[in-house]
Structures are given as structure tokens and as C-alpha cells.
A and B are shown apart, each in its own frame.
Chain A
């Protein structure tokens, strides 16, 4: 098997990046508006704003901090400008991210005489220096094994389950064979298919954890009296032909291919070793994608049926569909057209080969439509009430 490579940004520690972003991250609601001003003054920077966080408690707080650190640690981020209001939190995060050897500047309102304009001025100057330094880095050949790819589907229809997701699954199998890693999430969309996932678990404990994760989400819905019909599958799924959560799940899990599932990750938790992982997380795309990115995924493969414009801000997100209508009408949204497989005119493995080529191309710098149009964002999932 030839050793495949992509052109990436080599980091001091850990995997290489497929992008070299300056991340501007506001970690307090108070500094959000100023962070917008700062990011506008730093063209090309990527802005993540957390509108909440201070009152979070327990596991919710731990997850929140893990996700914020994870955004900073993601290999696509070359440098981080942190903006916040109080010293302990910003200090903890700056330290966690700087431990990777990555340049970090932390500008805190407490240090700026509580003057938001002083904070803006200092942040713009610090960010400008970080951005200038970043531009000196060049891409180098990197083995495909350094890729960690997140797998998602959204606004699915039956063509997703029959073609686009199995196509992602075929590519996932190929990535795992090359020593790369992958993660799929959307726990509720394992419901009705969890027995098939459990069968592929690397250990009985992982299999049991997968089944329990599904039962917990199912119970969550039942306890609140939520009828999944109309929620998941949602109205768009139903109009497109999906009738039940079981039908949707059986199509959704095809994204994970056929390799052994090495572990179940908590939301935004980075895996310790290479392999194929499941992430126990909400099914809705924005928080699901951010969970993968905070766990370290540098790229995302995102199937849709009727179309879905949302992408990650930090990880290039390849959009594909097999729906013969969507692929005709969404020319500036879909990066890959799998409709020939749907029509029976192209074998699945041939399409999987083309998709791998596109993945390497995007990893090496070619922009996705979502990047070109700026459809990306990062959000962090929440568990419950705050103080």
C-alpha cells in the first residue's frame, strides 16, 4: 500500500494541522462584543465567542473547559489569542494550551483597568504579532496517519443512508487502514442500530458502553415525554422520506464503516491512541461538530440528503450528497457529488477513491465551499442549569 501524504503544518507536539488559523477566543460573555471588534481588526483570524460559562457547575463546567482548551489545542490552530474577564479562568486555559508549545496571548479585562477599549487595543496588537509570525510557516508533506476525521450527517434523507453514508464508511475504512483516526457521534442516531455497533466494539466493555449511551438518551426523551417523531427524524427528514429513528440510525451508522470501534469518548474528549471512536454527544450538527473539533479532529466529512450549509469554523468540512436533486441545485454548497452511485452509474469503491483524493486535496489547502462562504462556527454543548 503506498504511503499517502498531505501537505500540512507540522506542530511542535502532536498531529499536523491542515490549516494554520489564528484563533481569537472570547471565554466570557462580557468580552464577546469586544472580541468581535478585535477579530474584525485581524482579517483572516477565526473568532469563537462563548456567551456563557461563568456559572456552569460540575460535569458541565468540566466539559466546557475541556472544549475551550480543545479548540485551542486543535492542530489547525497555529496560535491563540484568548480574551476574557477574570484571571483564574483565562490563566488556566492559557496554560493548558501553551503546554502544547503553541503561541498563546491572553488579554484579561482585570488587567486592563476594567476598560474594554484598553483590552481591545492590547488584544489587536497581540493578535497582529501572532498572525504575522504564523504566516512564516510553510506546508510540508505529512503522512495520512496524522489525520483525525470527524463523521457527521445532517438534513439526511434515505439517499444518505443508502449511498452518502456508506461512501463515508468506505473512506473511513480506508483511513483506518492507513493508520489515521476517525470519530462519529450523534448518540441518538445509534438507536435501533446499537446492536450492530456493539458487535464491532473492540472489547465487551466498549460494546456495553455504546448500548448504555443510547439507552440513556432514549430514557432522556421518554422522561420528558418527547416523541422522537418530529424531533428525530425531524420535519425535513420526514418530508424527504425517513419515517422512524431506527431507519435514520441504520443509515447514519454506515458512516463509521466496518472497522472495530476502539472506544466511546465523552464530549470533546481527545482519544489517547489512533483508531475509530464513537463520541457520546447530541445529534444536532453545530454542537456535534464542535465536540469532534475540540477532541482534535482536523477535518470533517459531512453527508446530507436535501442540503445542509453548516460547517465547522476550525476544521474544513467536506459536504457530500447523493440526492439527485440536491446535487443539481446546491452547486456552491456540496463539495462532492455522489449521485452517480445513487443512479447505479458509478461503483461505490470508485467514488470512495475520488472522495479520498478530495480529502487529501482539502487537507493540503484547497478550500471547501463552507470555508469560501464563511458558514462555520463553534459552539459548546451544555448539560444543565447554571448558577
Chain B
């Protein structure tokens, strides 16, 4: 396997979570995160967010940036990835317990 570069000065400082698009209401954990910590995020639009995690978030799992009402679209990549099946509070895990596809039903 290739040996990946350790650091590149051209890139921003590595974060522990990633917000992919300015329109998104969820972010993705880049490592396993513990509940109770505050995650600083920079959006694609340059705006800063601070989110207090209400529970642990596993590697690559999603958490809400803001409150998402039941029936509202959950957005990632700037696109709809499904509908919230219950109210989701900022900092909560967003997965199959509170998010459903709006297709093939």
C-alpha cells in the first residue's frame, strides 16, 4: 500500500468532524467522539459552528447541528438524505432511529 503523507501545509488543520455543505443540518464525526464535548466546526461557507454533543458519536456517524423538526429534511452534501421521524436536537446522533428515506416506500 502507498504510504500516505502525514501532513500538508496547504491543507487546513485536521478537524474531528466535518460539515460538507453550507446547507447541511448534520455533520460527520471523523473519529469516535464522546458525549458532553463541544465540537467546533467550520462550514463550507466559512461560518463557525459550536455543537455540544448530547451522546457519543461513532466514527463516520452523523450528529445534528441544530434542531430538526419531525418531518423536516435532513441534509448532507447539500442534498436531502431523508426525513426526521421525530424531533432531533442539536448534538444528537442522527441515524436510522430518527431518520428515514423518503423514497422506495
Contacts and interface: CB of A to CB of B under 8 A. Distances in A.
B11 A246 contact: no
A99 to B, nearest CB: 41
A340 B4 contact: yes
A246 B81 contact: yes
B85 to A, nearest CB: 11
Interface in B30-69: 30-31, 58-62
Interface string A335-355: 111111111111100110010
A244 B5 contact: no
Given A162-B28, A323-B60, A337 B81 contact: no
A interface residue count range (under 10 / 10 to 19 / 20 to 34 / 35 or more)? 35 or more
Interface in B1-41: 1-8, 10-15, 18, 20, 28, 30-31
A337 B102 contact: no
Q: How large is the interface on B (under 10, 10 to 19, 20 to 34, 35 or more residues)?
A: 35 or more
Interface of B is mostly: loop
Contact of A345 (B14, B31, B77, B81): B14
A372 interface: no
B100 A229 contact: yes
Interface of A: 157-159, 161-162, 191-193, 196, 218, 221-222, 226-229, 238, 240-241, 243-247, 250-251, 305, 323-325, 327, 331, 334-347, 350-351, 354, 358
A-B pairs with the 9 shortest C-beta distances?
A: A340-B4, A344-B14, A241-B60, A247-B81, A158-B60, A244-B101, A244-B82, A241-B61, A346-B5
Interface of B: 1-8, 10-15, 18, 20, 28, 30-31, 58-62, 76-77, 79-82, 94-96, 99-105
